[in-house]
Protein backbone atom coordinates (compact mmCIF):
# COMPACT_ATOMS: atom_id res chain seq x y z
CA UNK A 1 0.00 0.00 0.00
CA UNK A 2 2.80 2.38 0.96
CA UNK A 3 4.34 1.91 -2.46
CA UNK A 4 1.13 2.69 -4.33
CA UNK A 5 0.57 5.74 -2.13
CA UNK A 6 4.06 6.99 -2.82
CA UNK A 7 3.61 6.69 -6.57
CA UNK A 8 0.18 8.27 -6.48
CA UNK A 9 1.33 11.16 -4.34
CA UNK A 10 4.27 11.82 -6.65
CA UNK A 11 1.93 11.94 -9.63
CA UNK A 12 -0.52 14.27 -7.95
CA UNK A 13 2.27 16.50 -6.70
CA UNK A 14 3.69 16.71 -10.16
CA UNK A 15 0.20 17.59 -11.40
CA UNK A 16 0.39 14.94 -14.09
CA UNK A 17 -2.46 12.61 -13.14
CA UNK A 18 -4.88 12.78 -16.03
CA UNK A 19 -8.34 11.21 -16.21
CA UNK A 20 -7.05 8.60 -18.64
CA UNK A 21 -4.26 7.61 -16.23
CA UNK A 22 -6.73 7.32 -13.36
CA UNK A 23 -8.75 4.85 -15.43
CA UNK A 24 -5.59 2.94 -16.27
CA UNK A 25 -4.74 2.65 -12.57
CA UNK A 26 -7.56 0.11 -12.20
CA UNK A 27 -10.19 -0.12 -9.49
CA UNK A 28 -7.97 -1.07 -6.55
CA UNK A 29 -5.20 1.46 -7.14
CA UNK A 30 -7.78 4.16 -7.91
CA UNK A 31 -9.51 3.37 -4.61
CA UNK A 32 -6.20 3.53 -2.74
CA UNK A 33 -5.41 6.85 -4.42
CA UNK A 34 -8.81 8.24 -3.53
CA UNK A 35 -8.42 7.04 0.06
CA UNK A 36 -5.07 8.77 0.28
CA UNK A 37 -6.41 11.95 -1.26
CA UNK A 38 -9.44 12.39 0.99
CA UNK A 39 -7.65 11.38 4.18
CA UNK A 40 -4.43 13.29 3.99
CA UNK A 41 -5.45 16.66 2.70
CA UNK A 42 -8.35 18.91 1.84
CA UNK A 43 -9.91 20.32 -1.29
CA UNK A 44 -8.61 17.23 -3.12
CA UNK A 45 -9.01 17.07 -6.86
CA UNK A 46 -7.59 13.88 -8.41
CA UNK A 47 -6.65 15.80 -11.55
CA UNK A 48 -5.55 19.06 -10.01
CA UNK A 49 -3.72 18.35 -6.74
CA UNK A 50 -4.73 18.98 -3.13
CA UNK A 51 -3.88 21.08 -0.09
CA UNK A 52 -2.46 19.79 3.14
CA UNK A 53 -1.91 21.01 6.64
CA UNK A 54 1.30 22.76 7.65
CA UNK A 55 0.43 22.32 11.33
CA UNK A 56 1.72 19.58 13.64
CA UNK A 57 2.30 16.93 10.96
CA UNK A 58 -1.47 16.81 10.43
CA UNK A 59 -1.23 15.07 7.08
CA UNK A 60 0.53 11.95 8.39
CA UNK A 61 -1.58 11.80 11.55
CA UNK A 62 -4.86 11.96 9.63
CA UNK A 63 -3.78 9.29 7.19
CA UNK A 64 -2.58 6.99 9.99
CA UNK A 65 -5.86 7.37 11.89
CA UNK A 66 -7.85 6.74 8.72
CA UNK A 67 -5.89 3.54 8.10
CA UNK A 68 -6.66 2.37 11.65
CA UNK A 69 -10.37 3.06 11.03
CA UNK A 70 -10.27 0.77 7.98
CA UNK A 71 -10.43 -2.27 10.29
CA UNK A 72 -13.74 -1.07 11.80
CA UNK A 73 -15.09 -0.27 8.34
CA UNK A 74 -14.09 -3.69 7.09
CA UNK A 75 -15.81 -5.36 10.06
CA UNK A 76 -18.97 -3.33 9.47
CA UNK A 77 -19.05 -4.13 5.77
CA UNK A 78 -18.92 -7.86 6.51
CA UNK A 79 -22.40 -7.52 8.00
CA UNK A 80 -25.68 -6.90 6.24
CA UNK A 81 -24.56 -3.89 4.18
CA UNK A 82 -25.68 -2.89 0.68
CA UNK A 83 -23.96 -0.10 -1.19
CA UNK A 84 -26.06 1.67 -3.80
CA UNK A 85 -24.77 4.00 -6.47
CA UNK A 86 -28.07 5.66 -7.38
CA UNK A 87 -29.80 8.99 -7.31
CA UNK A 88 -31.19 9.64 -3.80
CA UNK A 89 -34.76 9.41 -5.09
CA UNK A 90 -34.20 5.89 -6.42
CA UNK A 91 -32.56 4.88 -3.12
CA UNK A 92 -35.49 6.23 -1.13
CA UNK A 93 -38.07 4.65 -3.43
CA UNK A 94 -36.29 1.34 -3.04
CA UNK A 95 -35.67 1.32 0.71
CA UNK A 96 -38.27 3.53 2.38
CA UNK A 97 -40.44 1.84 5.03
CA UNK A 98 -41.65 2.52 8.58
CA UNK A 99 -38.42 0.87 9.79
CA UNK A 100 -36.03 2.84 7.58
CA UNK A 101 -33.72 5.56 8.78
CA UNK A 102 -32.12 7.89 6.20
CA UNK A 103 -29.19 10.09 7.06
CA UNK A 104 -29.01 12.60 4.18
CA UNK A 105 -25.87 14.65 3.66
CA UNK A 106 -26.52 16.23 0.25
CA UNK A 107 -24.19 18.59 -1.61
CA UNK A 108 -24.46 21.91 0.15
CA UNK A 109 -26.83 24.50 -1.24
CA UNK A 110 -25.04 27.01 -3.49
CA UNK A 111 -21.96 24.80 -3.84
CA UNK A 112 -23.08 23.06 -7.03
CA UNK A 113 -19.71 23.68 -8.64
CA UNK A 114 -17.89 21.58 -5.96
CA UNK A 115 -19.11 18.31 -7.44
CA UNK A 116 -18.55 16.41 -10.66
CA UNK A 117 -22.25 15.63 -10.84
CA UNK A 118 -24.29 18.81 -10.81
CA UNK A 119 -26.75 19.03 -7.89
CA UNK A 120 -28.72 22.20 -8.51
CA UNK A 121 -31.54 24.05 -6.80
CA UNK A 122 -34.09 21.81 -8.55
CA UNK A 123 -32.39 18.76 -7.00
CA UNK A 124 -32.55 20.35 -3.54
CA UNK A 125 -36.28 20.96 -4.09
CA UNK A 126 -36.69 17.38 -5.28
CA UNK A 127 -34.90 16.13 -2.15
CA UNK A 128 -37.01 18.20 0.25
CA UNK A 129 -40.24 17.09 -1.47
CA UNK A 130 -39.20 13.45 -1.36
CA UNK A 131 -38.16 13.67 2.30
CA UNK A 132 -41.57 15.05 3.23
CA UNK A 133 -43.18 11.92 1.81
CA UNK A 134 -41.04 9.27 3.53
CA UNK A 135 -42.54 6.63 5.76
CA UNK A 136 -39.24 6.28 7.61
CA UNK A 137 -37.25 8.63 9.80
CA UNK A 138 -34.56 10.95 8.52
CA UNK A 139 -31.92 13.43 9.53
CA UNK A 140 -30.83 15.99 6.95
CA UNK A 141 -27.59 17.92 7.37
CA UNK A 142 -26.69 21.24 5.79
CA UNK A 143 -26.49 24.93 6.44
CA UNK A 144 -29.27 27.48 6.76
CA UNK A 145 -30.35 28.82 3.38
CA UNK A 146 -33.50 30.42 2.06
CA UNK A 147 -34.92 27.24 0.47
CA UNK A 148 -34.32 24.86 3.39
CA UNK A 149 -35.48 27.40 5.99
CA UNK A 150 -38.72 27.96 4.05
CA UNK A 151 -39.45 24.35 3.14
CA UNK A 152 -38.47 22.85 6.50
CA UNK A 153 -40.47 25.21 8.67
CA UNK A 154 -41.93 23.31 11.63
CA UNK A 155 -39.35 20.49 11.46
CA UNK A 156 -37.22 20.32 14.62
CA UNK A 157 -33.53 21.09 14.18
CA UNK A 158 -30.30 21.57 16.09
CA UNK A 159 -27.39 23.85 15.27
CA UNK A 160 -23.77 22.93 15.79
CA UNK A 161 -20.91 25.38 15.53
CA UNK A 162 -18.12 23.64 13.63
CA UNK A 163 -14.76 24.54 12.15
CA UNK A 164 -14.85 23.86 8.42
CA UNK A 165 -12.57 20.88 7.76
CA UNK A 166 -12.53 21.54 4.02
CA UNK A 167 -10.43 24.62 4.71
CA UNK A 168 -6.91 23.63 5.63
CA UNK A 169 -4.26 25.94 6.94
CA UNK A 170 -1.76 26.27 4.14
CA UNK A 171 1.45 28.21 3.80
CA UNK A 172 -0.58 30.68 1.74
CA UNK A 173 -3.43 31.05 4.26
CA UNK A 174 -3.98 34.60 5.40
CA UNK A 175 -5.48 33.32 8.64
CA UNK A 176 -4.04 30.58 10.86
CA UNK A 177 -7.46 29.49 12.06
CA UNK A 178 -10.16 27.67 10.12
CA UNK A 179 -13.41 29.55 9.50
CA UNK A 180 -16.32 28.48 11.68
CA UNK A 181 -19.84 27.78 10.48
CA UNK A 182 -23.19 26.75 11.89
CA UNK A 183 -24.08 23.31 10.62
CA UNK A 184 -27.72 22.28 10.96
CA UNK A 185 -29.36 18.89 11.46
CA UNK A 186 -33.08 18.77 10.65
CA UNK A 187 -35.22 15.87 11.92
CA UNK A 188 -38.62 14.52 10.88
CA UNK A 189 -39.08 13.03 14.36
CA UNK A 190 -38.49 14.03 17.97
CA UNK A 191 -34.88 13.21 18.87
CA UNK A 192 -34.22 11.71 22.30
CA UNK A 193 -33.96 14.66 24.78
CA UNK A 194 -31.43 12.71 26.90
CA UNK A 195 -29.01 12.53 23.95
CA UNK A 196 -29.44 16.23 23.17
CA UNK A 197 -28.80 17.06 26.81
CA UNK A 198 -25.72 14.83 26.92
CA UNK A 199 -24.15 16.88 24.11
CA UNK A 200 -25.51 20.24 25.32
CA UNK A 201 -27.69 20.66 22.22
CA UNK A 202 -30.88 22.69 22.11
CA UNK A 203 -33.78 21.59 19.92
CA UNK A 204 -35.22 24.47 17.88
CA UNK A 205 -38.23 24.76 15.57
The number of helices, as runs of H, and strands, as runs of E, in the chain is: 7, 6
Q: How far is the CB of 28 from ligand SAM (least distance, A)?
A: 20
Residues paired with 186 in a beta bridge: 140, 157
Interface with ligand SAM includes 183 (CB under 6 A)?
no
Residues paired with 51 in a beta bridge: 42
Interface with ligand SAM includes 115 (CB under 6 A)?
yes
Segment interacting with ligand SAM (CB under 6 A) among 70-78, 102-110, 143-151, 181-189: 102-110
Question: Residue 87 or residue 159: which is nearer to ligand SAM going by CB?
Answer: 87
Segment interacting with ligand SAM (CB under 6 A) among 18-26, 115-123, 128-136, 195-203: 115-123
Phi, psi (deg, nearest 5) at residue 18: -105, 160
Q: How far is the CB of 110 from ligand SAM (least distance, A)?
A: 13
Interface with ligand SAM includes 101 (CB under 6 A)?
no
Which residues inside 30-89 make contact with ligand SAM, applying CB under 6 A? 87-88
The whole-angstrom separation of Cα 153 and Cα 142 is 15
Phi-psi label, residue 13: left if phi above 0, alpha if psi -120 to 50, beta otherwise: alpha
The whole-angstrom separation of Cα 28 and Cα 80 is 23
Q: How far is the CB of 54 from ligand SAM (least distance, A)?
A: 24
In this structure, are residues 144 and 185 in contact, taking their beta carbons and an 8 Å threshold? no
Residues at the contact surface with ligand SAM, assessed by CB under 6 A: 87-88, 105-107, 115, 117, 119, 123
Amino acid sequence: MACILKGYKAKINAGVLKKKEAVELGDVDSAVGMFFLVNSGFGGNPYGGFGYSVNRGGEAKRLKNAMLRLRCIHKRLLGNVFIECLDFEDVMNKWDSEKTFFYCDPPYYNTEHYYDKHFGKEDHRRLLNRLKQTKGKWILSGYHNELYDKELQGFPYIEVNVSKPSYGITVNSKSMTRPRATEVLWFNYEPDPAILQKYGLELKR
